[in-house]
């Protein structure tokens, strides 16, 4: 492959990063792999055979500039994003190229919007945080459910995961977020994001069949509380997680995801169910698929392709629902994700 208009994957040696590299290569997009572990990058590149290796650490701006030189975009897959997002956004802005990340860390996403919006808008450079299973997918579903409306009274995003075997990166990022918020949780209500110490509440959620009625933990807050209100006027955003998945995530001995097919996916399945209430009217949208880490790759790579081909609706820092035509984007993800959208 040529490196002309190549996409840099930072954190390419990680679990999600490897899925992203595979998706880029499957689409014939020239790929540059980067990250802090030069030896690991070279080892994986020997197997891929058609990627360029450019090691860099986020505390070395000159190395980041070399890694991004001549590229068209960078996809940041390296957590904790509280550490990596800022330096990589700044490097992308210096290079004048699009930045996309797969951060599920609420605080990191908030920082991206707060700290880089003005510079990204002035540069006319797309900066897209949380373009992943958490944050991006929910935001697209909510936007599609609204069908062009930009206001809602309530948004509910329920995650029906059959299990959740977290990667080492997920555990590390979770620990960083927990420390940054002092062990408290977050709630988006009355049009604002606030910390709270209320206990998690268990309730039932009626997912689309065949999942059906499942026990969930209410206010198991995910990145949707950042992405959705970033472009929609909404009073309340709540997210929910199936009890089985939350228990797996909390368990110190829960193993990392294990591949079960030729694509490297685990046997985890998911349904994301969105309920939007506005003026007494309810609208729903849902998506289903396999392996939350694997499915992040087509989400991020599709976003980059659309940015590079001019199929965007925003510049500067923006979420997926603001940047793209949501329903069209979601339908383009078949067969990775099957969606049900309102007429």
**Count of residues for the chain?**
343
- pLDDT over 70 at 143, yes or no: yes
Q: Please write the tens of the pLDDT for every residue from 258-287.
A: 999 999 999 999 999 999 999 999 999 999
88-98: average pLDDT: 98
Tell whether the model's pLDDT for residue 1 goes beyond 70.
no
What is the Cα–Cα distance from 276 to 286, expressed in whole angstroms?
11
Query: Average of pLDDT values for 10-32?
Result: 97
Closest CA to 169 of 158, 179, 177: 177
Share of the chain above pLDDT 70, in %: 99
Q: Angle at Cα 79 formed by Cα 74 and Cα 84, nearest 5°?
A: 60
pLDDT exceeds 60 at position 3 = no
Q: Can you tell me the mean pLDDT for 286-300?
A: 98
pLDDT at 343: 81
User: What pTM does this model have?
Assistant: 0.96
What is the pLDDT, as a whole number, of residue 2?
Answer: 38
Distance of CA 314 to the CA centre of its chain: 18
Ordered by where they begin, the domains of the chain are: 7-132+297-323 (3.40.50.720), 133-291 (3.30.360.10)
For 343, residues 6+ apart whose C-beta sits below 8 A from its C-beta are none
Q: Find the mean pLDDT for residues 315-343.
A: 96
Locate tokens 């510049």: which residue? 315
Rg of the chain on CA atoms, in Å: 19
pLDDT digits (tens, 9 = 90+) for 156-186: 999 999 999 999 999 999 898 888 888 889 9
Contact 126, 312 (CB under 8 A): yes
For a pLDDT cut of 90, what percent of the chain falls above it?
93
Which residues are 317's β-sheet partners?
127
d(CA 64, CA 272): 36
Q: What is the mean pLDDT of the chain?
A: 96
| 198-245: pLDDT as tens digits | 989 999 999 998 889 999 999 899 999 999 999 999 999 999 999 999
Residue 4: its pLDDT value, please?
Answer: 54
- Which pLDDT score is estimated for 144? 98
Residue 66 backbone zone (phi > 0: left; psi -120 to 50: alpha; other: beta): alpha
Give the Cα separation of 189 and 282 in Å (integer): 18
Beta bridge partners of 158: 240, 273
Q: pLDDT tens-digit profile of 42-73? A: 999 999 999 999 999 999 999 999 999 999 99
Q: How far apart are CA 237 and CA 213, in angstroms?
A: 21
């Amino acid at each position: 492959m040529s490196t002309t208009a190549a996409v840099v994957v930072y954190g390419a040696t990680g679990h999600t990063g490897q899925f992203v590299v595979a998706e880029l290569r499957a689409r014939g997009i020239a790929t540059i792999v980067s990250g802090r572990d030069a030896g690991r990058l070279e080892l994986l590149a020997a197997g891929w055979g058609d990627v360029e290796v450019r090691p860099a650490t986020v505390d070395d701006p000159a190395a980041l500039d070399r890694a991004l030189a001549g590229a068209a975009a960078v996809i940041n897959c390296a957590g904790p994003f509280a550490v990596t997002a800022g330096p990589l956004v700044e490097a992308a802005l210096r290079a004048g190229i699009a930045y996309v990340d797969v951060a599920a860390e609420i605080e990191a996403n908030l920082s991206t919007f707060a700290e880089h919006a003005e510079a990204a808008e002035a540069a006319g450079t797309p900066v897209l945080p949380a373009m992943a299973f958490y944050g991006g997918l929910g935001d697209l579903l909510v936007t599609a459910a609204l069908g062009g409306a930009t206001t809602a009274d309530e948004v509910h995003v329920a995650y029906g995961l059959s299990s959740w075997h977290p990667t080492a990166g997920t555990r590390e990022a979770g620990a960083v977020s927990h420390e940054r918020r002092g062990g408290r949780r977050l709630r988006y209500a009355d049009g604002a994001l606030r910390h709270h110490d209320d206990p998690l509440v268990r309730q039932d959620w009626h997912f689309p069949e065949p999942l059906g009625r499942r026990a969930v933990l209410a206010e198991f807050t995910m990145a949707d509380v950042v992405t959705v209100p970033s472009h929609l006027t909404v009073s309340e955003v709540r997210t929910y997680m199936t009890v089985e998945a939350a228990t797996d995530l909390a368990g110190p001995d829960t193993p990392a995801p294990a591949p079960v097919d030729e694509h490297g996916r685990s046997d985890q399945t998911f349904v994301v169910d969105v309920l939007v209430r506005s003026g007494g009217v309810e609208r729903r949208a849902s998506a289903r698929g396999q392996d939350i880490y694997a499915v992040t790759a087509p989400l991020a790579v599709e976003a980059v392709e659309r940015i590079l081909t001019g199929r965007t609706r925003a510049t500067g820092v923006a979420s997926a629902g603001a940047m793209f035509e949501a329903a069209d984007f979601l339908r383009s993800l078949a067969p990775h994700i099957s969606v049900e959208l309102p007429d």
